[in-house]
Structure 1
Amino acid sequence: MTTPTVLFSEDDDALRFATAQALELAGFTVQSFNRAEALLASITGVFDGVIVSDIRMPGMDGLELLAAVRSIDPGIPLILVTGHGDVPLAVKALKDGAYDFLSKPFAIDHLTSSVERAIEHRTLQIENRRLRAAADLGDARDPLLGTSIAMARLRASIRQLAAADVDVLIEGETGVGKEVVAAQIHRFSKRAGRPFIAVNCAAWVDSSFEVELFGHASEAVAHHRSARRGMIAASSGGTLLLDEIDSLPLAMQARLLRVIEEREVQPLGAERPEAVNLRVIATSKSDLEQAARAGTFRLDLVHRLATTRLRVPALRERGDDIRLLFDVFVEEAKEQFGKPDFAVPAEHLASLRLHDWPGNIRELRNRAFALVLHDGENGGAQEEAADDLKSRVALYEAALIKEALLRSDGRVGEAIKRLGLPRKTFYDKVSRLGIDITALRRPDLKEPMR
């Protein structure tokens, strides 16, 4: 790593020499100038350091330097040094974008402390820009961000499975991104130009789900004269994703087994089945063999689904990816909530690797959004405060509900659909968990929340 650079401008030769020497002893690389114009000319490319300048100087003064620096890059921290009579000017300069100011005479440790904070701020800012650029590139090419070995292996497996055109069982904890992995397998397969139909098996509530999945013949369902094509038939030629298949009741598992074995679907009330050409991808957050032994999942369906298995790593297994993803989510939240100047408090960054993230990427995204929404005040600290199982489950439920509301831009109806909850259950949980729905509503959303 290179030593942080400080550009220092001061027209008093003795003071310039003494201050530069003190900063070098504190561990900084210092370039000193007796004129602000010379300092400004030395800024080329992306400057990752800090500027310290006196206000009163011949030629370009410190305030003019501030304006010129901000025109190059408004993120470069500039610390002003001022005489006692210029304090009002320095205060105004803070409002205009200066990072800090010191009044003469000042203790050198006050200057080094201010420079250290400014360096840390600038380093984080540049890193966030880099990550944002990587995220933009990732959005265009691959939504599975991460540089860890686990993610490199996952991306390689996705490419191999995409080419094989076999059924896949994707396993992993809640919130690791199994549906994203399934979408990537479809995207890189020869079926990419055909439908990708995702079925949320956890949303099964009553017979209406069966109708949506299998479709029905004309007049086979009350109040529906016309036939309806189900989601399975609609996916023919493409990929059918059975998301969270471990949530399906046994009766529905039996009907799906026939679809997977015979590659045909029979709509409700239809006289004969319809052939379908599809690839089946299923996801599960639990061990299906264990569920089969417990009698809650059909063993023959496990064998049919698990032609090929793919495990998505938990977030705690991904090392530095945690910080990368967190910074991407913070940038996303800053944009959504209109807080471009928000900076993550250092204590929150330090705690990222200490938490085991049972909710994985969903929980991490929730933490980032809560932190930005509440301006860094207890934005997720409560999640670390509770160790007992009941409290952690409640916190995780709240995190999922908040995430669904955020992803739905505050539209309660859409959030309920994402969660697969009955409306009454949703509102009961919101009340019990103390969730403020209005705080999660996008400011420019005109549609009233229901």
Structure 2
Amino acid sequence: MHTATRGTVLLVDDDPMIRKATEKWLQMAGLEVLTASSAEEALPHLNEDFRGILLTDVKMPGMTGLELMEIAHAQIRDLPVILVTGHGDIDMAIQAMRDGAYDFIEKPFVPERLVETLLRACEKRNLMIENLRLQNDLAVRSGLDGKIIGISPAIQRLKRELLASAEIDTNVIIYGETGSGKELVAQCLHEFSPRKHKRFVPINCGAIPEHLIESELFGHEAGAFTGASKRRIGKFEHADGGTLFLDEIESTPAHLQIKILRALQEGQIERLGSNQSIAVDIRVIAASKADLKEDENFRQDLFYRLNVTQLFLPPLRERSEDVPLLFMHYVNQAANERDRDSRQLSNQDEKILRSHQWPGNVRELKNVAIRFALDNRVSLADLVNGQQIPVSSEDVEHKPLPLAIQVAAFEEDIIKRSLQRHQGNIKAVMDELELPRRTLNQKMTKFGLNRSDYLD
């Protein structure tokens, strides 16, 4: 039976006995292993399709492991390379790490330590590949795919039904939970319809006081009621030729449902305070959280007038495979709007995104994504759990933050600025800040900083 591997390692060593023993250790640890007896033999593997990491001896006949690393990095940016060195090569290995090596292992090495290092490198490599996939997926999306983000079967079915409904130009009811994106679907119905060059006019029927909603929908003449100092054009009239979106239509008062039904049947409206009929040509898209057919307070004749086509928008908890892609869409959007570098997701972050139930649906996810994009000090786990780290000393009752938090924020800012100045050149940052490589690595990990985010 085929089992998934924990990663792929390209093992390069000219000693056949060491190569064979190392290959066996790595395979026992769940790693897929490709072997090469020389750097020259390894080169064909190092192309854009290679998804693994490189483990290479340094001293070999012909091309050395250091030369192989240089070529590998030219082919695959940020490829994790682990060097195997002799006892007297420590200074050389440290210099190699400054030049971009992921780590080095000194001979004779302990197999458990080697495996541990390789698994960490594979996790980093897999994370880089997944983030690149998400970025590429978002970059190539256009048209409807660029507006409704998702790859799940439910979303793919929704897109097909949406496009079919858009062309028919009939009334539609969209069902979906609060925050699931019903207005976005309605906008897409309009934009892909023959009415796309006319207005899309949305109104939330549940957000307007009952004594004002009739005027909002149908308009009024001056003097029609107290406070009506001048004529007002209602949403029906304003949407003439285009699309009227009635969100939360289930909250519409009973007497107003009759007027909406008459307007749809006759294609005419009357402003409050007027006896003159005004012809309107509109498409109505209604949205509801509940089944209107089962709602005792909703007129069935109006339901059947609206219910020419139905679209069902699934909640996020039923399409977990869409969540990371949708989340990164909003992270990138927030970062671009504020001219900031986009944060990346770790493997643990993706697990958190997929396992959370998202009771607020897309609206909740978007809010979390924006905060995640703008505050590197707060973890995704804290955001999802409703815990937020204050970003300044004035955020909590004007009390100063603990010294450790202020010092950490100061350190993070200094390292960020240095990375930006040197465009991700780790050696230059080490020299400027006079930090050893290990210390800098620890601090970058602590603050969630990635060298690749600052490359030119």
TM-score calculated relative to the size of structure 1: 0.69
**Maintained 8 Å contact 1:264/1:276:** yes
Is 1:193 aligned with 2:197? yes
The Cα RMSD (Å) is 4.1
Q: Secondary structure of 2:141's partner?
A: helix
- Aligned counterpart, 1:325: 326
Pair 1:73–1:336, CA change in 2 (3 A): farther
Pair 1:54–1:221, CA change in 2 (3 A): farther
Q: Secondary structure of 1:325's partner?
A: helix
Q: Secondary structure of 1:241's partner?
A: strand
**Maintained 8 Å contact 1:53/1:79:** yes
Number of equivalenced pairs: 386
**Maintained 8 Å contact 2:320/2:355:** no
- Aligned counterpart, 1:178: 182
Q: Secondary structure of 2:104's partner?
A: strand
**Aligned partner of 1:260 among 264, 271, 286:** 264
CA deviation after TM superposition for structure 1 residue 11, in Å: 5.2
* Bigger Cα Rg: 2
What CA deviation, in whole Å up to 9, does each residue of 1:379-421 have, x standing for no partner? Answer: 244645xxxxxxxxxx6xx99xxxxxxxxxxxxxxxxxxxxxx
**Maintained 8 Å contact 1:84/1:104:** yes
**Aligned partner of 2:129 among 126, 129, 132:** 126
Q: In structure 2, list runs of 5 or more residues that go unmatched.
A: 389-394, 398-456
CA deviation after TM superposition for structure 1 residue 128, in Å: 3.2
**Aligned partner of 1:244 among 218, 242, 248:** 248
CA deviation after TM superposition for structure 1 residue 115, in Å: 1.8
Inter-partner Cα distance in structure 1 for 2:67 and 2:233: 69
- Aligned counterpart, 1:204: 208
- Aligned counterpart, 1:106: 109
**Aligned partner of 1:155 among 128, 149, 159:** 159
Q: Secondary structure of 1:357's partner?
A: coil
Q: Secondary structure of 1:320's partner?
A: helix
Inter-partner Cα distance in structure 2 for 1:269 and 1:85: 96
CA deviation after TM superposition for structure 1 residue 373, in Å: 4.3
Inter-partner Cα distance in structure 2 for 1:19 and 1:34: 13
- Give the percent of matched residue pairs that are identical in Structure 1 and Structure 2: 39
- Aligned counterpart, 1:6: 9
**Maintained 8 Å contact 2:352/2:381:** no
- Aligned counterpart, 2:306: 305
- Aligned counterpart, 2:283: 279
Inter-partner Cα distance in structure 1 for 2:206 and 2:61: 71
Inter-partner Cα distance in structure 1 for 2:315 and 2:353: 14
Q: Secondary structure of 2:22's partner?
A: helix
**Maintained 8 Å contact 2:243/2:285:** yes
CA deviation after TM superposition for structure 1 residue 283, in Å: 1.0
Inter-partner Cα distance in structure 1 for 2:91 and 2:240: 72
CA deviation after TM superposition for structure 1 residue 255, in Å: 4.9
Moved more, 229-238 or 106-115: 229-238
**Aligned partner of 1:73 among 76, 81, 95:** 76
**Aligned partner of 1:45 among 34, 48, 53:** 48
**Maintained 8 Å contact 1:9/1:36:** yes
- Aligned counterpart, 1:316: 317
Inter-partner Cα distance in structure 2 for 1:212 and 1:67: 68
What CA deviation, in whole Å up to 9, does each residue of 1:329-352 have, x standing for no partner? Answer: 555566567344x44333333344
**Maintained 8 Å contact 1:82/1:102:** yes
**Maintained 8 Å contact 2:85/2:104:** yes
Q: Secondary structure of 1:197's partner?
A: strand
- Aligned counterpart, 2:400: none
**Maintained 8 Å contact 1:33/1:39:** yes
Q: Secondary structure of 1:176's partner?
A: coil
Q: In structure 1, list runs of 5 or more residues that go unmatched.
A: 385-394, 400-429, 433-450
What CA deviation, in whole Å up to 9, does each residue of 1:54-106 have, x standing for no partner? Answer: 45556655555444333322142222334566556555655554333334443
Aligned AA (1:362): R
- Aligned counterpart, 2:22: 19
**Maintained 8 Å contact 2:177/2:315:** yes
Aligned AA (2:132): R
**Maintained 8 Å contact 2:14/2:60:** yes
Pair 1:83–1:263, CA change in 2 (3 A): farther
Pair 1:333–1:121, CA change in 2 (3 A): farther
CA deviation after TM superposition for structure 1 residue 16, in Å: 4.2
**Maintained 8 Å contact 1:257/1:301:** yes
- Aligned counterpart, 1:438: none
CA deviation after TM superposition for structure 1 residue 242, in Å: 1.6
1:342-353 map, 5 Å: 342-353=343-354
Q: Secondary structure of 2:380's partner?
A: coil
**Maintained 8 Å contact 1:345/1:376:** no
Inter-partner Cα distance in structure 1 for 2:302 and 2:275: 25
**Aligned partner of 1:167 among 162, 171, 188:** 171
Pair 1:152–1:203, CA change in 2 (3 A): same
